Amino acid sequence: MSHVDTEVRPSNFIRNIIDEDLSSGKHSQVHTRFPPEPNGFLHIGHAKSICLNFGIAKDYQGQCNLRFDDTNPEKEDINYVKSIQEDVRWLGFQWSGDIRYSSNYFDQLHQYAVELITKGLAYVCFLTGEQTREYRGTLKEPGKNSPYRDTSPEENLALFEKMRKGDFKEGECALRAKIDMASPFMCMRDPVIYRIRFAHHHQTGDKWCIYPMYDFTHCISDAIENITHSICTLEFQDNRRLYDWVLDHLDDFQAPNRTRQYEFSRLNLEYTLMSKRKLNDLVTRQLVDGWDDPRMPTIAGLRRRGYTPASIREFCQRIGVTKQENLIEVGMLDACIREELNEHAPRAMAVLRPVKVVIENYPNAQPEQIIAPAHPNNEAMGTRELFFGRELFIDVEDFKEEANKHFKRLVLGKEVRLRNAYIIKAERCDKDADGNVTTVYCTYDADTLGKNPADGRKVKGVIHWVEASTAKPAEFRLYDRLFTNENPAAFETVDEVINPQSLVIVNGLVEPSLVSAEAEKAYQFEREGYFCADNKDSSAEHLVFNLTVPLRDTFS
Whether 37 is catalytic:
yes
Say which of 37, 391, 475, 486 is annotated catalytic.
37
556 residues of the chain, pLDDT tens digit each: 444 444 556 689 999 999 999 999 999 999 999 999 999 999 999 999 999 999 999 999 999 999 999 999 999 999 999 999 999 999 999 999 999 999 999 999 999 999 999 999 999 999 999 999 999 999 999 999 999 999 999 999 999 999 999 999 999 999 999 999 999 999 999 999 999 999 999 999 999 999 999 999 999 999 999 999 999 999 999 999 999 999 999 999 999 889 999 999 999 999 999 999 999 999 999 999 999 999 999 999 999 999 999 999 999 999 999 998 889 999 999 999 999 999 999 999 999 999 999 999 999 889 999 999 999 999 999 999 999 999 999 999 999 999 888 899 999 999 999 999 999 999 999 999 999 999 999 999 999 998 989 888 889 899 999 999 999 999 999 999 999 999 999 998 999 999 999 999 999 999 999 999 999 999 999 999 999 999 999 999 999 999 999 998 765 4
Range of the domain at 93: 13-264
Tell me: the pLDDT tens digits for 356-380? 999 999 998 899 999 999 999 999 9
Q: What is the pTM of this model?
A: 0.92
Q: What burial class does residue 353 get, using C-beta atoms within 10 Å of its C-beta: 0-12 exposed, 13-18 middle, 19+ buried? A: middle
- Name residues whose C-beta falls within 8 Å of residue 91's C-beta, 6 or more positions apart in sequence: 47, 50, 51, 299, 309, 312, 313
- d(Cα 89, Cα 413) in Å, to the nearest integer? 56
DSSP letter (8 states) at residue 75: G
Pairing mode, if any, of strands 350-351 and 503-510?
antiparallel
Say which of 75, 144, 241, 266 is annotated catalytic.
266
Within this chain, do residues 308 and 203 fall inside the same structural domain, yes or no? no
Within this chain, do residues 217 and 314 fall inside the same structural domain, yes or no? no
CATH of the domain at 538: 1.10.1160.10
Binding residues for L-glutamine: 69, 214
Whether 397 is catalytic:
no
State the angle between helix axes of 240-248 and 214-224 in degrees (0 to 180), rounded to the nearest 10: 60
Phi, psi of 522 (to 5 degrees): -85, 145
Within this chain, do residues 141 and 158 fall inside the same structural domain, yes or no? yes
- Report the domain count for the chain: 3
The residue among 464, 487, 520 that closes a domain is 464
SS3 track for 433-483: CCCCEEEEEEEEECCCCCCCCCCCCCCCCEECCEECCCCEEEEEEEECCCE
CATH of the domain at 112: 3.40.50.620
Residue 320's nearest CA partner among 63, 58, 15, 92 is: 15
Q: Within 10 Å of residue 199's Cβ, how many Cβ atoms?
A: 15
Q: Tell me the longest C-alpha to C-alpha distance in the chain.
A: 103
Binding residues: 37-39, 43-49, 69, 214, 233, 266-267, 274-276
Between the alpha carbon of residue 537 and those of residues 297, 533, 543, the distances in Å are 20, 8, 8
Whether 285 is catalytic:
no
CATH of the domain at 354: 2.40.240.10
Within this chain, do residues 358 and 342 fall inside the same structural domain, yes or no? no
Tell me: the pLDDT tens digits for 392-410? 999 999 999 998 888 999 9
Say which of 15, 67, 276, 425 is annotated catalytic.
276
Q: Is residue 94 part of a domain?
A: yes
Residue type, 141: E
Within this chain, do residues 34 and 160 fall inside the same structural domain, yes or no? yes
Within this chain, do residues 430 and 492 fall inside the same structural domain, yes or no? no
State the angle between helix axes of 13-24 and 44-59 in degrees (0 to 180), rounded to the nearest 10: 30
Answer for the pair 58, 27: CB distance below 8 angstroms, yes or no: no
